[in-house]
Chain A
Amino acid sequence: MIEASDDELMGRVAGGDAAAFDRLAARHMRRAVALAQRMTGNPSDADEIAQEAFLRVWQHAGRWDGGRAAFTTWLYRIVMNLAIDRGRRPGWSPLEDAGDPPDEQPDALTRIAERQTAEQVNRALAALPDRQRAAVVLFHQEGLSLRQAAEILTMNESAFASLLARARAALKAALSPDPA
């Protein structure tokens, strides 16, 4: 049996088909949660953001225009906006760092060093302005192209490239072993 495409499912969701919504959510929930967690560094915030994002998909399904953007672009845009909004709330702070290093090294010292480096990177990422952090997450961590990442952040490709360059420069300075 041929799986319905995202576009077909979205067309049905716009018509109030809850079963189509369930299938669409099942297809994309894991990645939406992972993306939110990379942005917030906090699993419980990530869960709330992913749920809220899918409820917005349900509520505003009629607004989505498949001719203008892929469904995933629209979904990731909602997730990123919710994550950025959450980060701007007064008193907000990530409870846990996003992602542990893979636990494959035989040497405990190596594992500790890897973990420390990962924590340092997470701290440097968390200190970036929201959109710069979003640029690094989308391009380097999610592996999206410059064009896809720019679409998600609703900016043109050259503006995104410049945002990414600023983010990389800030991270390089923060992670430099001998900061000036």
Chain B
Amino acid sequence: MTDEDFLRHLDDYGAAPERWPPELRADADTALARSPALRAALEQARSFDRLLTAPAAPVEDARVTRLLSAVGAAARGMPQEGVVMLLLGRMQRRRVAGFCVALLALGWLAGGWLTGQFAGPAATAPRGQELALLNDEVVTLFDGESR
């Protein structure tokens, strides 16, 4: 790692080389051991990092207790996600759409097959009877009177 590389990584990831990407750490240590200028740059970068790591505002016990009480009560009045949503929720939207289309297609095919099964005898009726239904006798099927 050249000095320029080290300084670039120092800018990018901050003044804790042990938190840099693992593949850079050993080279960073070597570069630091070699160069007093890099050690000085590291020290300077530490003061910038300290600005970014301000302590968190305290979260008081009473506040946490109040939040826990509120969230516990709210959860008890709230149903959890159902099984269908759980299954669909794990899928990507495209997959959900594909799954729904597949279900529709399957339903359509099953419906067609069942219709074919139950309508089987009519489909095999003699040709003559079929023709008769298309003529005068059809009317009697609806109003009960032959015309």
Contacts and interface: CB of A to CB of B under 8 A. Distances in A.
27 contacts: A18-B72, A21-B72, A22-B68, A25-B68, A33-B64, A34-B56, A37-B56, A37-B57, A37-B59, A54-B71, A55-B71, A55-B74, A58-B75, A59-B78, A62-B81, A62-B86, A63-B89, A98-B54, A99-B57, A102-B55, A118-B54, A139-B14, A146-B13, A161-B21, A164-B12, A169-B11, A175-B48
Nearest to A63: B89
Contacts of B90: 63
Contacts of B76: 18
Contacts of B89: 60, 63
Nearest to A62: B86
Given A29-B64, A146-B19, A59 B52 contact: no
A55 B75 contact: yes
Contacts of A145: 19
Interface of B: 11-14, 19-21, 48-49, 51-57, 59, 63-64, 67-68, 70-72, 74-76, 78-81, 86, 89-90
Given A33-B63, A59-B80, A140 B53 contact: yes
A50 interface: yes
Contacts, number: 117
Chain B binding surface SS class:
helix
Nearest to B51: A121
B63 A141 contact: no
A60 B89 CA distance: 9
Max chain B Cβ within 10 angstroms of own Cβ: one of A14, A16, A62, A121: A62
A172 interface: yes
